[in-house]
């Protein structure tokens, strides 16, 4: 039985950051909007098994590690023995509060949430099916696909085995591992390797490339490699899986090099796939690529102009922050026929290892390849009074600037609060104009703060000029 439903100006599929951004923008511009979500609650993968729970886990792991090493808390250390499942429960409260907050957005803006799996019938019609309820057919003038992505699962791995996990299912692990092998050293793999090491778990990090996070600034990723190894993480570069041998009490990763790595668990963190397989894209003449992703133009339109796509389902940069803006800009184009395009050159990257990494703009390697004359200014956290006070002396702020115009070309930060610190420089870069480096020298920063690293780095860079 198929139940016919209402017609909407805009129908959004997916309630993650991209879907929420699109729905709220369209609703606030007096468009009738509905959102289809196949999970039992709003927020998408970002809220339920991605960004929010993993970062809450990171925060708890970092605090746990800090207490165990801080002499001030010595009297408590003998009684502090938290397990991985206990620390995971800390994330549950954050997820619940985020879900309640996001549900409130839809309620206040009169955007109905329709639970079920969506598939195309034609360009303006979606069929939504869910267990135990009649199938609905919903029509809309414009449709926004914000279906997100999921971990790529190679067919030769048995993910039903309790010792093999991906980045979604690792959040349901019910015991505290003694050891874990993380296959894939991208953002997710590096973050989890760092988290597990701070929980006292032995970590093997298998990287298929020659260095960690090869698109990031070399100096920053070298610092990350050093600190991961300092925490006991065994990093193996240029290695690839040959096969996996999952046993009752452990799992053995066999590498093409002939090496074998035994651990309690294997975390597969090598690639993601867009959630497009259930949409029946062929019904509207669309086709996803081999990674399940869709191509879009600058307005986030697919090859069918009334169908838009945002977030992970279109690939790079695949960040929650960018997905939200993409959703807003797509809805802006639906509302007015015009939309501002995102400035990818000023989109910050945040990697939540311990310590964390954040950057915006160009790297040294990119500028050297382009033949741009540049210089560097450093501020090392160990020299900042605030960092010394809070015991977070690992890290640095690195400014890259044009030697002639003093324009800031890149900002790279490694250390506690890096993802917050980077926004100060991002704002100055977005302002445009010359002599941006001088701005940090002429600005009075609160003392003591981490933000004064900008003044220190700018003066350091200025002293390097010939």
Question: Model confidence over 163-181: pLDDT tens digits?
Answer: 999 999 999 898 999 999 9
**pLDDT at position 90, please?**
78
Report the helix count and the strand count for the chain, using DSSP H and E.
13, 22
Task: Indicate the fold that domain 2-151+273-344 takes in CATH.
Answer: FAD/NAD(P)-binding domain (3.50.50)
Residue 389: exposure state from Cβ atoms within 10 A (0-12, 13-18, ≥19)? exposed
Residues 6+ apart with CB under 8 A from 194: 58, 228, 231, 233, 353, 354
Q: How far is CA 59 from the centre of its chain?
A: 15
3 state DSSP class of 153:
coil
**pLDDT at position 87, please?**
83
Q: Where are the CATH 3.50.50.60 domain residues in the chain? A: 2-151+273-344, 164-270
Q: Mean pLDDT, to the nearest integer, of 371-386? A: 97
Task: Indicate the fold that domain 355-464 takes in CATH.
Answer: Enolase-like; domain 1 (3.30.390)
Q: Mean pLDDT, to the nearest integer, of 134-152? A: 96
Q: Where are the CATH 3.30.390.30 domain residues in the chain? A: 355-464
Q: Mean pLDDT, to the nearest integer, of 302-309? A: 98
Where do the H-state alpha helices sit in 257-407? 320-336, 364-370, 385-390
Q: What are phi and psi of 414, to 5 degrees?
A: -130, 120
For 416-455, the DSSP string reads TTHHHHHHHHHHHHHH--S-HHHHHHHSPPPSS-STTHHH
Residue 17 has pLDDT above 90, yes or no: yes
**pLDDT at position 77, please?**
61
Confidence band (pLDDT; 50, 70, 90) for 2?
low
Confidence band (pLDDT; 50, 70, 90) for 434?
confident
* Owner of token pair 């501020």: 379
pLDDT in tens, 22-77: 999 999 999 999 999 999 999 999 999 999 999 999 998 888 887 776 666 666 66
pLDDT in tens, 72-107: 666 666 666 778 888 888 788 899 999 999 999 999
**pLDDT at position 67, please?**
77
> Average pLDDT, whole number, for the chain?
93
Confidence band (pLDDT; 50, 70, 90) for 133?
confident
Q: Which CATH class is domain 164-270?
A: alpha beta
Residue 341 has pLDDT above 70, yes or no: no
């Amino acid at each position: 039985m198929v139940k016919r439903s209402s017609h909407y100006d805009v129908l959004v599929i997916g309630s993650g950051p991209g879907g929420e951004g699109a729905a709220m923008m369209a609703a606030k511009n007096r468009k009738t909007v509905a959102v289809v979500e196949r999970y039992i609650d709003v927020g998408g993968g970002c809220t339920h098994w991605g960004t929010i729970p993993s970062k809450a886990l990171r925060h708890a792991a970092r605090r746990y590690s800090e207490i165990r090493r801080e002499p001030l808390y010595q009297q408590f250390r003998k009684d502090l023995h938290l397990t991985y499942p206990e620390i995971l429960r800390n994330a549950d409260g954050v997820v619940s509060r985020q879900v309640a907050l996001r549900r409130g957005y839809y309620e206040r803006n009169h955007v109905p949430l329709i639970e079920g799996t969506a598939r195309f019938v034609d360009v303006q019609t979606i069929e939504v099916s869910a267990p135990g309820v009649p199938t609905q057919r919903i029509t809309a003038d414009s449709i926004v696909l914000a279906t997100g992505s999921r971990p790529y699962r190679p067919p030769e791995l048995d993910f039903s085995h309790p010792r093999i996990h991906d980045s979604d299912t690792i959040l349901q692990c019910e015991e505290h591992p003694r050891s874990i092998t993380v296959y894939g050293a991208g953002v997710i793999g590096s973050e989890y390797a760092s988290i597990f090491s701070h929980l006292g778990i032995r970590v093997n990090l298998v990287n298929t490339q020659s260095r960690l996070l090869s698109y990031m600034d070399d100096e920053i990723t070298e610092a990350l490699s050093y600190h991961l190894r300092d925490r006991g993480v065994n990093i193996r570069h240029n290695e690839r899986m040959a096969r996996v041998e999952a046993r009752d009490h452990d799992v053995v990763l066999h590498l093409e090099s002939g090496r074998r790595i035994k651990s309690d668990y294997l975390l597969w963190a090598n690639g993601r796939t867009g959630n497009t397989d259930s949409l029946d894209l062929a019904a509207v003449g669309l086709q996803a690529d081999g990674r399940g992703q869709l191509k879009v133009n600058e307005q986030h339109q697919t090859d069918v102009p009334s169908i838009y796509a945002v977030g992970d389902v279109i690939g790079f940069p695949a960040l929650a922050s960018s997905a939200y803006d993409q959703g807003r800009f797509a809805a802006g184009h639906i509302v007015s026929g015009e939309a501002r395009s995102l400035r990818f050159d000023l989109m910050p990257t945040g990697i939540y290892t311990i310590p964390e990494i954040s950057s915006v703009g160009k790297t040294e390697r990119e500028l050297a390849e382009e033949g741009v004359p540049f210089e560097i200014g450093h501020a090392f956290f160990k020299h900042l009074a605030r960092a010394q006070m809070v015991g977070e002396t690992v890290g640095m702020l690195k400014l890259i600037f044009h030697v002639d115009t003093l324009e800031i070309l890149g900002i790279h930060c490694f250390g506690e609060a890096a993802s917050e610190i980077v926004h100060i420089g991002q704002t100055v870069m977005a302002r445009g104009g010359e002599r941006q480096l001088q701005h940090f020298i002429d600005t009075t920063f609160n003392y003591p703060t981490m933000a004064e690293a900008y003044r220190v780095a700018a003066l350091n860079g200025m002293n390097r000029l010939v």
